[in-house]
Structure 1
């Protein structure tokens, strides 16, 4: 670990803490500018596409046939973000797995509150299956709200009677819309980005007055994870959303799911986005890549038996 790197990232994030009171259009514009200002990711080809009736970006590995399909969901508190803002993370997984990724531009609140994003996630997964992509050649991934959407899409797909994909990875997922985790308090000072109050303000757009205490809004508290595929949840110890991962992982383990909880010390929300700047980010992405690669290989082997 690099204490200097971690301190630098923490200071950088504290210079621009999240403001959930901003108008959604301002949040979208600012986040897009922040996350797309760098060079295009290396080692991949990016192609505009459509999946499940929504715009998408297909990210393919250079120099070889794809070994599977990553259905990717971007973060942004259900209100902002796009496949472009998540492109570096998406490309990082593509490079590490050799799989292609399809990153979906699901509908956002407040124009399209819950369950619009869930409907889009399920439609995207269903279309991959309808295209003839075997479930065992698909994995789901995403960060923050997108990490949550990946897990929620699994729950919705199970209820719809669809076959499960090979696995799912969630980076710092928000899995409790009630914001009731103890880490909302215990990590308040350590988190350089979020507070419970700011998250409550922005989540209100997604909730639109609906009860957050339901499985597809707060799966860490109310979902039955039984029957889900292998899961990897990665989080930082310095984020108020930490308990969203710890509680859902415990719930999944109790339900017999093969779940791995991967908490990295002294790093913030979606620290994986600092690939190349933070040693812990590169190491976490390496672990996520191996997890997805192994899951695809295991599922493929099982399908041949």
Structure 2
């Protein structure tokens, strides 16, 4: 038994993930995409919500709104998938749960994917969608930007690009298991390879090459925001698990933000895996993490002052926060 006893649902999830073909780095990109969509569909059981497609100055986006949500406050969501897979459709369940928990509208961004569209296409699309949202009348302080994995890294890169262009920044940001270092220099890349059922060192390298190209610079600060100047960012929530290859991407990002004078809530969950909140339709730990995430969003919009932490075992990972 581990120091932190996980739920049976989480154990089942890990076993399923270890058999999932979308984690194989030798599979073709079309197959990777199709396999991910099939897997994501098996977790699709969203709360009642409307899904409305829109066009953000040429970028495919979709509104997700549960009944009664405040349409004046928006979570702009950037999905994960190593910049090569993932989609608006695959994240509908998760976006509906964010809308329900935070009482906000969610705008999911279908940014262009690699290798057909390499860096900085995803960043350009994210910035375009954000600026479109501002131009449509949504104030920056009524926007929270969020994303997981590649989308979590893209969240930070986008804020750096916006800041440097003197564009008003969002009220806050959420990064779930963010991919922040495409050079993969974190110790966890190898140390956690045995534990991570989603990300492998080889697979992560393959995704980086697809995004950057063979001659691309993995330390470019707008591709790998760990290397960016991170001053003057809004408050950031980082959620991650101790059993993921990209753990050090989260821990080092938190330190860099703090060193730059920023505010960061580093929410580390013992035994949890890459992007574990995504599985909230079936896994209790994911549901608790999502409640904390949406309370953070609500707090950023002034709807809640003190989001409670439902993870009773977070003290077990407290040493990682220093």
TM above 0.5: yes
Partner of 1:255: 260
Q: Distance in 2 between matches of 1:40 and 1:272?
A: 14
Q: CA deviation at 1:277?
A: 2.3
Q: TM-score, normalised by structure 2?
A: 0.89
Partner of 1:213: 219
C-alpha RMSD of the superposition: 1.6
Deviates more, 1:82-91 or 1:271-280: 271-280
Q: Work out which of the residue numbers 116, 123, 148 in structure 1 matches 2:128.
A: 123
Q: CA deviation at 1:150?
A: 1.2
SS in 2 for 1:289: helix
- Superposed counterparts of 1:1-305, under 5 Å: 2-16=6-20, 18-37=23-42, 39=44, 41-208=46-213, 209-220=215-226, 222-297=227-302
What 5-or-longer segments of structure 1 have no aligned partner?
Answer: 300-305
SS in 2 for 1:48: strand
What 5-or-longer segments of structure 2 have no aligned partner?
Answer: 305-322
- Report the count of equivalent residues: 298
Q: CA deviation at 1:144?
A: 1.1
Contact 1:2–1:279 (CA under 8 A) maintained in structure 2 = no
Contact 2:180–2:249 (CA under 8 A) maintained in structure 1 = yes
Deviates more, 1:68-77 or 1:26-35: 26-35
Q: Distance in 2 between matches of 1:20 and 1:286?
A: 33
SS in 2 for 1:248: helix
Q: CA deviation at 1:275?
A: 0.9
Q: Distance in 1 between matches of 2:92 and 2:158?
A: 20
SS in 1 for 2:77: strand
Q: TM-score, normalised by structure 1?
A: 0.93
Any idea what the Cα deviations from partners look like across 1:132-156, whole Å, max 9, x if unmatched?
A: 2110001101111111111111111
